[in-house]
Amino acid sequence: MQPDFWNDKRPAGVPSHLDLGAYKSVIEVFERSCKKFADRPAFSNMGVTLSYAQVERYSAAFAAYLQQHTDLKPGDRIAVQMPNVLHYPIAVFGALRAGLIVVNTNPLYTAREMRHQFKDSGARALVYLNLFGKLVQEVVPDTGIEYLIEAKMGDLMPAAKGWLINTVVDKVKKMVPDYHLPQAVSFKSALKQGRGHALKPVNIGLGDIAVLQYTGGTTGLAKGAMLTHGNLVANMQQVMACFSQHGADGQKIIKEGQEVMIAPLPLYHIYAFTANCMCMMVTGNHNVLISNPRDIGGFIKELKKWRFSALLGLNTLFVALMEHPEFKTLDFSNLKVTNSGGTALVKATAERWEALTGCRIVEGYGLTETSPVACTNPYGDKARLGSVGIPVVGTALKVIDDAGNEMPIGERGELCIKGPQVMKGYWQRPDATAETLDAEGWLKTGDIAVIDPDGFVRIVDRKKDMIIVSGFNVYPNEIEDVVMAHPKVASCAVIGVPDERSGEAVKLFVVARDNGISVEELKAYCKENFTGYKVPKQIVLRDSLPMTPVGKILRRELRDIA
């Protein structure tokens, strides 16, 4: 269906068209906002708040450092591997202002995963937190990385406090394993060296790549989705259009410079990047960065300090917060937006959240390849549980059968998306791009959906066998490939099983070689090779696996057994 089909279905206040030429790049969005909202708070973390003017100054210094002290040129890739700390927006916007392409890297990655991403993207520089120094030392020799910029937790704090924090992290909490990277430049010194230089403006337009955002690969290896400045700016405008919905007071839901947005989801994940770095910035609002959302007690202590009005999360996080006894003592009187994405929202979670906070969770849907938001529910009582809402402005959707024919409204089929937020393609993977994007710009999602007659969309199944654990994509092929490399494993298969906390969990079936293998050995091996969310929660040893006559393992049968 074309975008116009949905125009009369949008709530009051939401425009039906976008001015896609309003900004020339992400850089322009950033620079305009920093000027307009100079004195307003932009980001807070660990007791330090930076204003828009400070973020602008720091990122200009970082960009000037990259221009003056390295031979990185516009279009070169720089990997950024950090949790939610103040360095992240400075490094990312600094890199973009220097014309570089940012490669967002998960700080929880193992050496194997880092190596693949750095090599595949051809990254020439890496900005990382010293907690990961040992891993960086291990992988850098196998990559094309020439420049290392090393951040420490206390870098942006007043000197004495910064020293104290760094000492506690290193010596008391023992969070920094020993490593030796004499070539690394400290983040503080990069800012200092850049400060004296003027930033040279770069010629970057909407068609240029801004970010390489890696997404799990169906073939086992992650692929880099090329998201352009145009993709990110369009998706920001699309989400802003949703925020223009009129509230009970007849005003926009999200007001300029008045909101406090809590950001527990990792900024390197495209969902938080678009919402926290882009949408909150263009409205001059305040982001409170939560560095370790797993520490629920610490998270709630931070929430107590703020009169927060918006929170971005996912099912797992909402459940964990509500389980904590202190949660109900928080002040929710300002909370008007709770957005859920990344993984299916459980009905019971949504109902309990609304009862406790008085705010309805609004579920949306998107993919890394759509920068990420494609559909979202209206706010307040117009939101529909069990649906991902309607497509954002300027987005066309259709549902197709296996032969590629468009299905009528109300029929299920593979969901396809077309709009200004759809990626340029996969980095250096024309084959994979051709499989996903057709000549007309339709992106196949691999998700099975139904478009209801009133325009609301329901995701009913997944075409592929992808597993979603707490909003992160896990591809069975990748896990199977690595487990098969174990000398004691004859064959294996991975499926997703429902899990109360994380939505889905990874279940691994293994057939051992003659000398046998224990579940303990497999657990240790998986922990060593995978980021936490990919580690199988359940491991089952079997004598054989169900197979087709040609020897293809039948995951479907394993699911039925499970």
Residue-wise pLDDT tens digits, 264-276:
999 999 999 999 9
Helices (H) and strands (E) in the chain, counts: 18, 26
Residues of 191-223 as b/e, b for ≥16 C-beta within 10 angstroms?
bebbeeeebeebebebebbbbbbbbbbbeebbb
pLDDT band at 219 (very low <50, low <70, confident <90, very high): very low
What residue numbers bound the domain in which 101 lies?
A: 26-204
Helix (H) or strand (E) segment spanning residue 415: strand 412-418
* pLDDT greater than 90 at residue 296: yes
- 240 found inside a domain: no
Say how far apart CA 209 and CA 413 lie, in whole Å.
Answer: 31
* Rg, the chain, Cα only: 23
Helices (H), 70-186: 87-97, 111-121, 133-139, 159-167
pLDDT of residue 517: 95
Q: Does residue 152 carry a pLDDT above 70?
A: yes
- Mean pLDDT, range 287-301, rounded to an integer: 96
Boundary of a domain, candidates 415, 434, 462: 462
CA atoms within 13 A on the CB side of 288: 21
Mention every residue, 6+ apart, whose C-beta is less than 8 A from residue 152.
129, 130, 162, 166, 169, 186, 187, 188
Strand order in the sheet with 425-426: 185-186, 147-151, 125-129, 77-81, 101-104, 209-215, 223-228, 425-426
What Cα–Cα distance (Å) separates residue 226 from each residue in 250, 266, 408, 438, 543? 39, 19, 32, 16, 43
* Residue 40 pLDDT exceeds 70: yes
Q: What is the pLDDT of residue 499?
A: 92
Residues 416, 475, single domain; the answer is: no
> How confident is the model at residue 551, as a pLDDT?
63
412-418 and 443-451 beta bridge pairing: antiparallel
pLDDT in tens, 520-542: 999 999 999 999 999 999 999 99
Q: Residue type for 513, please? A: R
Q: Residue 220: pLDDT band by 50, 70, 90 thresholds?
A: low
Asked if 537 and 448 sit in the same domain, the reply is no
Mean pLDDT of 199-212: 97
Residue 45: give its domain's CATH number.
3.40.50.980
What confidence tier does 478 reach under pLDDT thresholds 50, 70, 90? confident
Mean residue pLDDT of the chain comes to 94
Q: Give the pLDDT band (50/70/90) at residue 149.
A: very high
Q: Is residue 21 part of a domain?
A: no
Within a 10 A sphere around the Cβ of 541, how many other Cβ atoms?
14
Q: Based on the domain organization, do 428 and 546 belong to the same domain? A: no
Residue given tokens 């210094």 in the structure block:
61
Does residue 549 share a domain with residue 437?
A: no
Please give the full DSSP string across 508-554, using - where no structure is assigned. Answer: EEEEE-TT---HHHHHHHHHHHS-GGGS-SEEEE-S---B-TT--B-
User: What percent of the chain is modeled with pLDDT above 70?
Assistant: 98
The CATH number of the domain holding residue 428 is 2.30.38.10
Cis peptide before 372 (omega within 30 of 0): yes
Say whether pLDDT at 27 is over 90. yes
Does the residue 423 lie in any domain?
yes
What is the chain's length? 562
Q: Of the candidates 204, 222, 249, which is a domain's last residue?
A: 204
Q: Does residue 270 lie within any of the structural domains?
A: no
On whether residue 441 sits in a domain, the answer given is yes
Q: Which residues pair with 121 in a beta bridge?
A: none
In this structure, are 447 and 481 located in the same domain? no
- Cα 311 to Cα 19: distance, rounded to the nearest angstrom: 27
457 shares its domain with 503: no
Q: Is residue 178 part of a domain?
A: yes
Q: Check residue 549 and give its pLDDT.
A: 63
117 inside domain: yes
Assess whether 125 and 35 both reside in one domain: yes
User: What pLDDT was estimated at residue 508?
Assistant: 97
Rounded Cα gap, residues 33 and 411, in angstroms: 44
| Residue range 273-299: mean pLDDT, rounded | 95
pLDDT over 70 (residue 21):
yes
Res 196 pLDDT > 90:
no
481 and 457 in a common domain: no
Count Cβ atoms below 10 Å from residue 462 Cβ, excluding itself.
15
Q: Which helix (H) or strand (E) holds 492?
A: strand 489-499
Residue 510: give its domain's CATH number. 3.30.300.30
Q: Report the pLDDT averaged over residues 500-523.
A: 94
Q: How many domains does the chain contain in total?
A: 3
pTM confidence score: 0.88
Do 555 and 414 fall within a single domain?
no
Q: Are 488 and 405 found together in one domain?
A: no
**pLDDT at residue 354, as a whole number:** 96
Give the domain-ending residue among 462, 496, 516. 462
| Residue 12 lies inside a defined structural domain of this protein | no
Q: Do 400 and 542 belong together in one domain? A: no
Same domain, 441 and 501: no
Average pLDDT for 373-390:
93
The count of other CB atoms within 10 Å of the CB of residue 397 is 24
